[in-house]
Amino acid sequence: METILVINAGSSSVKFQLFELTASAGPRRLVKGQMAGIGTRPRLHAETHDGASLIEKSFSADEIASVAAATAAVGQWLQETQKFTPVAVGHRVVHGGPHYSRPTIVDRDVLDQLERYCSLAPLHQPNNLAPIHALLEHRPGLVQVACFDTAFHRTHDPVADHYALPERFYREGVRRYGFHGLSYEYIASRLRDVAPDLAKGKTIVAHLGSGASMCALGAGRSVDSTMGFTALDGLPMGTRAGQIDPGVILYMLTEKGLGAAEIQDLLYHDSGLKGMSGVSNDMRELEASTAAGAALAIDYFVYRIGLFAGMLAAALGGLDGFVFTAGIGENSVLIRARVAEKLAWLGAALDTAANQSGAVLISQPQSRVKLHVIPTDEELMIAQHTLSLLKVPA
C-alpha cells in the first residue's frame, strides 16, 4: 500500500496524518494524530479515520526534546505498528515568500531559501522546517513537498499586495502575502459541493482559531486577506495583537526602551486575547469567565471581525456568503451569533436554532447573505498537493 505522510509541525507539537493513495478517489485518510507537549510533557496520540484509538503514550521531556525528535518518534511508531512506509511526506510551511506560489518538492537549495523567511514567521517557519531538515538527513531519498500558506493568495491584484512604500521594498519581497491559504483553498473547494452559488459568488471566509484571519473569495479566488507581510496582521488572535499602528512599535522602541526581540516576543506571545483579557488565549475559557477583561477581549474580537468584514465586502463589491471555519469558527455558538449580528447591515440573518444545533447552513431562508459553518481540512489539501507532484501510480 502506497501512502503519503502529512506533517504540520508547531512549536510544541507535531500533528500528522497518513493517507492511502487510492486509484480514483484521491488520498484516503488512514491515521491522524499528534505528538504534543514537546520538551515538557510529550504525549503521542493517534486514531484511525473513524476515531478508534491507536495509541496514547507519554514520554519524558528528554526523550522528546525537539520537533525533530518528535518527528522521528512518530515515523518509528508508524513503521513499527502500522507497517506503513510513506512514498512521500507533505509539509505545511507557513511562508513561501515571493518565490513560491505553488507546492514544491524540497531539496537543500529550496530549504536554504525557505530558511530566509524564518524572521517573517518566527512562531511557525522554523518549526515547519525542522522535520524537513531531519528527514533530509535521515531519509535523503524520500520525496518531501512543501505546501505554503501564502500560495493561495498569490492571485491578488498588485494594488492589494502593495504597501505605500518605495517600490524597491516590494521588489525585495515586502508585500501583503496573506496566510491560512491551505484552509481557504479547502473551503473554496468544499463550497462547490456545499453551496455552488457561493462558490461562484462573493464570499468571506473567517478562519477563526488561535491564529485568525479572513479572506475575500471571488468565484473561489483569493481577492484580499486580513493578514499581510507576516502572520501578525489583521484580526486579534490567541496571543498575537493583530492590526496595530506602526507608531506603537516606534513608541516601544524609543520611549519604553524595548529591544526588537522583546517587542517580537510581546506581539507574538503576550498580546491578543491573552494580553487583553489577562485571563487566557483560549476562547472557551474566556466565554466561561466572569472577568471584565475576558468580556472585553471577546467584544474586541467580534468588533474587529465586523470591521474587516466590511473591508473585505468592499474589496469584493458586495457579499453573498460568510463562512465560519477553524476551531472557534466551527465550535463557538456564541462567537458565530455575535458575528452574525455585526453582519446584519450586509443582509445576514442568523437562524438561532440552526446555529445552536451545529448545522452547516445557519442563516434564515430570507437572509441575503448566507451563513455557513464548514470544517477545514488543511491536511487533506497537503496530501492532494503532494500526490499531484508524485510520479507514482495513484
Pair 224, 313: CB distance under 8 Å: no
The four Cα atoms 258, 259, 263, 266 give a dihedral, to 10 degrees, of -70
Task: Give per-residue burial for 324-337: e unless 16+ CB within 10 Å, then b.
Answer: bbbbbbbbbeebbe
CA distance 384 to 21: 10
**Residue 272: Cβ-neighbour burial (10 angstroms; 0-12, 13-18, 19+):** buried
Could you tell me which residues come within 8 angstroms of residue 158 by beta carbon, excluding any fewer than 6 positions away? Answer: none
Nearest to 382 by CA among 160, 191, 128: 128
**Residue 167: Cβ-neighbour burial (10 angstroms; 0-12, 13-18, 19+):** exposed
CA distance 309 to 350: 16
CA distance 166 to 271: 30
Nearest to 186 by CA among 157, 211, 222, 160: 222
Residue 320's identity, in one-letter code, is: D
Which DSSP letter does residue 369 get?
B
The catalytic residue among 62, 107, 149, 224 is: 149
3-state secondary structure of 334: helix
Say whether 149 is catalytic. yes
CA distance 235 to 302: 9
CA distance 370 to 353: 15
Could you tell me the three cell numbers for 229?
507581510
Nearest to 96 by CA among 191, 170, 28, 178: 178
Active-site amino acid positions:
149
